Amino acid sequence: MADKKKIVILGGGIGGLSAGYFLARSGKFQVTLLEKTNTIGGVCGSFKHDGFILDYGAHKLYSVIPGILDEIKNVMEGRLLRVLKKNRIFLRGHLLDYPLKLGNLAKVLGAGTFLKLGLGYAVTFINGLFDKSPASSYAEYIMKKFGRGTYELVFEPLADKVWGDPSTLHPDMARTRIPASGGIDVILRLLGIKKESKDTSAEYFFYPEKGFGDFPLTLKEKIEQNGGRVFINAGSMHVKREAGRITGIDAVIDGQAHSFECDYMVSSIPLSSLGGLTLSHDKKFIGAVQKLEFRSVVLVYVFVKRPLVLEDQWIFFPEREFMFSRIFEQKQMNPDLGPADRTAICCDFTCTADSRQWKAGDEEIAAKCIEGLIKGGFIKGSDVSGHLVVRFPDFYPRYDLGYQEKIKEVYNGLRQFDNLLLTGRIGMYNYNNADHCFDMGRFITEQLVEGKAINKIMDELESRVADYRIVD
Ligand X SMILES: Cc1cc2nc3c(=O)[nH]c(=O)nc-3n(C[C@H](O)[C@H](O)[C@H](O)COP(=O)(O)OP(=O)(O)OC[C@H]3O[C@@H](n4cnc5c(N)ncnc54)[C@H](O)[C@@H]3O)c2cc1C
Quick one: 14 or 105, whose CB is closer to ligand X? 14
Q: What pairs with residue 300 in β-bridges?
A: 347, 389
Q: What pairs with residue 260 in β-bridges?
A: 249
Please list every residue from 267 through 306 that binds ligand X, using CB under 6 A.
Answer: 268-270, 273, 297
Q: Per-residue x/- marks for ligand X, 176-215, CB under 6 A?
A: ----------------------------------------
Stretch that binds ligand X, among 55-63, 218-226, 255-263, 442-450 (CB under 6 A): 55-63
Q: With binding defined as CB under 6 A, does residue 239 bind ligand X?
A: no
Binding test (CB under 6 A) with ligand X, winner from 7, 29, 53, 59: 59
Please list every residue from 356 through 415 that binds ligand X, using CB under 6 A.
Answer: 395
Stretch that binds ligand X, among 21-29, 37-45, 287-295, 317-325 (CB under 6 A): 37-45
Number of residues that bind ligand X (CB under 6 A): 36
C-alpha–C-alpha distance, residues 189 and 186, integer Å: 5
Stretch that binds ligand X, among 120-128, 193-201, 222-230, 419-427 (CB under 6 A): 419-427
DSSP SS3 for 181: coil
DSSP SS3 for 325: coil
Nearest to 83 by CA among 252, 289, 434, 332: 332
DSSP SS3 for 83: strand
Residue length, the chain?
A: 472
Q: With binding defined as CB under 6 A, does residue 433 bind ligand X?
A: yes
C-alpha–C-alpha distance, residues 137 and 306, integer Å: 44
Stretch that binds ligand X, among 58-66, 118-126, 166-174, 372-380 (CB under 6 A): 58-66
Quick one: 226 or 313, whose CB is closer to ligand X? 313
Q: How far is the CB of 395 from ligand X (least distance, A)?
A: 6
Binding test (CB under 6 A) with ligand X, winner from 9, 58, 365, 369: 58
Contact 369, 324 (CB under 8 A): yes
Specify whether the backbone of 46 is left (phi greater than 0), alpha (psi in -120 to 50) or beta. Answer: beta
Binding test (CB under 6 A) with ligand X, winner from 20, 157, 427, 441: 427
Residue nearest to ligand X (CB): 13
Contacts of 16 (CB under 8 A, 6+ apart): 9, 10, 33, 35, 42, 266, 268, 269, 423, 424, 427
Q: With binding defined as CB under 6 A, does residue 419 bind ligand X?
A: no
Cα 469-137-109 angle, rounded to 5 deg: 80
Which residues form the interface with ligand X (CB under 6 A)? 10-16, 34-37, 42-44, 56-60, 234, 268-270, 273, 297, 348, 395, 424-427, 432-435, 437
